Amino acid sequence: MSAREQILGRVRAAAGHTSSAPPRFVPGARRVDFAAFAEKAVAAGAEAHGPFGAEALAARVAERCRSWSGGGRVLASAAALARLGAGPWQPIPLESDPHAFADVAVAIFCGALGVAENGAVGLDGREARPRALPILCERLVLLLETDRLVPDMHAALAGLPPGALAHHHFTFVAGPSKTADIEGELVLGAHGPRELAIFALEP
C-alpha cells in the first residue's frame, strides 16, 4: 500500500467511512428514471426532451435546430451525426481558429453521462472538439442515452469513460451559461451558450 493510500485510509477512518470508494458504475446497472433527471435539468434552465427512438430523435432535434438557428450554422460531432443522420446540420470542420465558429448558432454533441441529482450532462473532451465550440455556440444540444443516467455525482465520477481524465478536459454542463453581478442581476449566455436542450434516446 502506497503512502497516499495509507493517508486516505486514515482520513476515511477518521470521517467514519467504511468504504474506500463508491462502487464502480456499470451502464444500465443502476436504472435512473429520465423524468427525475429532466426535472433537475429544467430547474437548472435547460430543456429536456424524450426519451425517443432513433427516427423520432432526429426529427425532434431537427425541429429544435431550425427554430434556433436563425440562419447561422448548425454543427454536429461525428458521434451525433451517427445517431441523427441527415438534417439541417453539418459535420464540425477541423478549423483550429476559434474565430471560425463565430457564426455557429447550434452545436450538437453526445453526452457521456447524465446526473439525476443536479440535471448535469458530462461532456467528454474527446467528444467536445474543438474545445472552443461548446462555449462559443449560441445554443447547445446534447444527446444522452438513457442507460448513461446515474443517480449522483459519486456515481458519475466512478463511471467516467475510460481515459476521460487522461484527456484535456471533462466538463459537467448544467443548463445554459449563467452569471450574476453583485446586484444579483442574472445574465444568460455571457460566457457560453444562451440555451441548452437535452434529448434523451433509448440505446
Q: Residue 119's closest CA among 93, 80, 149?
A: 149
Which residues form the domain of 158? 25-201
CATH of the domain at 99: 3.40.50.10420
Grid cell of 139 as nine digits: 445554443
Residue 7 within a domain: no
Q: HSE of 76 in the Cβ direction (CA atoms, 13 Å)?
A: 22
Residue 9 within a domain: no
The pTM (predicted TM-score) of the whole model is: 0.82
Residue 66 within a domain: yes
Number of domains in the chain: 1
Instruction: Using DSSP, state whether 103 is helix, strand or coil.
Output: coil
- Work out the burial of residue 106: count CB atoms within 10 Å of its CB; fewer than 13 is exposed, 13-18 middle, 19 or more buried: buried
- Quick one: how far is CA 203 from the chain centroid? 17
Residue 31 within a domain: yes
Residue 158 within a domain: yes
**Contact of 61 with 84, CB cutoff 8 Å:** yes
Position 114 scores a pLDDT of: 96
Residue 10 within a domain: no
Position 14 scores a pLDDT of: 55
Pairing mode, strands 113-115 and 149-150: parallel
Whether the link from the prior residue into 193 is cis, omega within 30° of 0, is: no
Q: Residue 78's closest CA among 107, 114, 120?
A: 107
- Tens of pLDDT, residues 57-103: 999 999 999 999 998 999 999 999 999 999 999 999 877 788 888 89
**Contact of 88 with 68, CB cutoff 8 Å:** no
Residue 109 within a domain: yes
Residue 15 within a domain: no
Most confident of 81-95, 105-119, 121-135, 173-187: 105-119
